[in-house]
Amino acid sequence: MDILIKLLDTSAVQTLIIMGAVFIGGKLFGKFPKLKKFYDNYRGEMIRVIKLVEAEIPDTTDNKSLHKLDRALQYMILLIEKRESRVLTSNEILEVRSNISEVHHEIEPTILAKKTTA
């Protein structure tokens, strides 16, 4: 028993145990469904809606960012509800809003570049 304890107390064995736990954790995590189902399924539509709203709402509008986010959210809710033939829950709407913000953050440099060249 003392030999087993001394063997488990070595750095190499502890490293192997940790590596095994990380490997198994990664395999288990891969089995869970994706956490961003709307982001994965509707990213392209979100980009199109954001570009549409950027062109639709003038930069001189008060609280333009809030209006643009709200309009993009309205469009996406209509699109998703029509495509999935159901009404989104409040949690799903919050997820879509978060996803729109994330996509906007990703494509913001291209939007700004187009505005400066125009």
In terms of residue numbers, what domain contains 41? 37-117
If asked whether residues 22 and 41 sit together in one domain, one would say no
Q: By percentage, how much of the chain surpasses pLDDT 90?
A: 31
If asked whether residues 42 and 15 sit together in one domain, one would say no
Q: By percentage, how much of the chain surpasses pLDDT 70?
A: 86
How many domains, in total, are found in the chain?
2
Give residue 31's Cα distance to chain centre: 18
If asked whether residues 60 and 14 sit together in one domain, one would say no
If asked whether residues 46 and 23 sit together in one domain, one would say no
Q: Is the pLDDT of residue 17 over 90?
A: no
For 106, other C-beta atoms within 10 Å of its C-beta total 13
Interacting residues of 4 by C-beta distance below 8 A, sequence separation 6+:
none
If asked whether residues 85 and 53 sit together in one domain, one would say yes
As a whole number of angstroms, the distance between CA 66 and CA 86 comes to 26
If asked whether residues 70 and 109 sit together in one domain, one would say yes
Mean pLDDT over 53-64 rounds to 86
Interacting residues of 27 by C-beta distance below 8 A, sequence separation 6+:
none
Q: Is the pLDDT of residue 118 over 80?
A: no
If asked whether residues 87 and 47 sit together in one domain, one would say yes
If asked whether residues 24 and 66 sit together in one domain, one would say no
